[in-house]
Amino acid sequence: MSHLLQKPVQTELSTGVTLVHNVTTQQSPLEYVGFKVIDLAPGATYTESLEKTECCIVAVTGKINVTEGSESFKHLGTRDNVFEKVPTDSVYVSNNKTFTVEGETNARVALCYSPSDKQLPTVLIPAAEVGVEHRGILSNKRMVHNILPDSDPRANSLLVVEVFTESGNWSSYPPHKHDQDNLPDESFLEETYYHEMNPPQGFVFQRVYTDDRSIDETMAVENGDVVIVPAGYHPVGVPDGYESYYLNVMAGPTRIWKFHNDPDHEWILSRQP
Ligand SMILES: O=C(O)C[C@@H](O)[C@H](O)C(=O)CO
């Protein structure tokens, strides 16, 4: 199996708290992005003290309560299943703070991290403020929920988006990369993909490749898997009959998403509907 593909685990951290994914900068090729998925049972709590790291807590499914110091956000989360395709609630917490997430119902929570030394206010990013964007034509149609886009200054490094790709379509496509710290032409952003499929026995294909092919991995990705993108192009293809969801976390030295399309495939963008 590719070292860029991570399968879900079921590690019980405490009663009612299960760790499903843990991508750290120590145990992955990533320097700027960390990512966890935890499942919470009703009433179970998960507490974490952030050191030189910021975190965006995403209520993927179910309902949660989040507290940080005197800040308390109740009844977060808008969906039982991501394929309801409605935006969800998130909370941004900056470095050197301690937060607690409590399951109000059974809940799946994504914790998106990036190193940071800039203290910023803890903020709720309510579902109603999440920008919904429809991109692409023909078999390149997808819908994006912009949870923390680069136009939102509330984070230091983190960028967080959700992407829904229709059956038989492609997203993160035509292939693009953002692995050169060469603004204004391209930014350097590492990335993680947390995938789900509907129905859940589905799979998608994700290729991660660089121009020199020093990375060239094509992965069969199943429900709940994480793909790590340290560099390179990273298109996703969705088989007929299945819908795809993924949560992207990106971070790098500069908080700008400036990508570069693979010149071999850029012509895709010039087609007419
Ligand atoms: O538009 C899409 O298909 C989503 C991608 O842009 C995805 O968020 C990504 O690749 C970010 O670099």
Q: How far does residue 52's CA lie from ligand 1's centre (Å)? A: 27
Q: Does domain 5-270 have CATH number 3.40.50.300?
A: no
Ligand 1 centroid to residue 47 C-alpha, Å: 31
Report whether pLDDT(139) > 90: yes
Q: What is the mean pLDDT of residues 170-197?
A: 98
Enter the ipTM: 0.97
Atom of ligand 1 nearest to the CA of 234: 10
**113, pLDDT greater than 90:** yes
- The CA distance from 81 to 79, in Å, is 5
Is residue 273 over pLDDT 90?
A: no
Domain boundaries, the chain: 5-270
Of the pLDDT bands very low, low, confident and very high (cuts 50, 70, 90), residue 205 is very high
Shortest-distance atom of ligand 1 to CA 172: 3
pTM: 0.97
The number of residues making up the chain comes to 273
Q: What is the DSSP letter of 233?
A: B
Angstrom distances, CA of residue 219 to CA of 19, 226, 245, 253: 23, 11, 16, 28
Q: Phi then psi for 123, rounded to 5 degrees?
A: -135, 145
The alpha carbon of 41 and the centre of ligand 1 are apart by a number of angstroms equal to 31
Query: pLDDT band at 1, cuts 50/70/90?
Result: confident
Q: How high is the pLDDT of residue 235?
A: 98
Could you tell me the distance, in angstroms and rounded to a whole number, from the CA of residue 261 to the centre of ligand 1? 11
Distance 172 CA to ligand 1 centre (A): 4
pLDDT above 90 for 215 = yes
pLDDT digits (tens, 9 = 90+) for 11-23: 999 999 999 999 9
Average pLDDT rounded to a whole number, residues 222-241: 98
Among 181, 147, 192, residue whose Cα is nearest residue 256:
181
Structural contact between residues 165 and 156, judged by C-beta atoms closer than 8 angstroms: no
Q: What is the mean pLDDT of the chain?
A: 97
Q: Percentage of residues in the chain with pLDDT exceeding 90? A: 98
Residue of 172, 173, 265 to mutate, ligand 1, most atoms within 8 A of C-beta: 172
Average pLDDT estimate for 226-238: 98
Ligand 1 pocket at CB < 6 A: 135, 142, 144, 161, 163, 171-172, 178, 191, 234, 248, 259
Query: Could you tell me the distance, in angstroms and rounded to a whole number, from the CA of residue 153 to the centre of ligand 1?
Result: 19
Is the pLDDT reported for residue 48 higher than 90?
yes
Which H/E stretch holds residue 260? strand 260-261
DSSP at 112:
E
How confident is the model at residue 81, as a pLDDT?
98
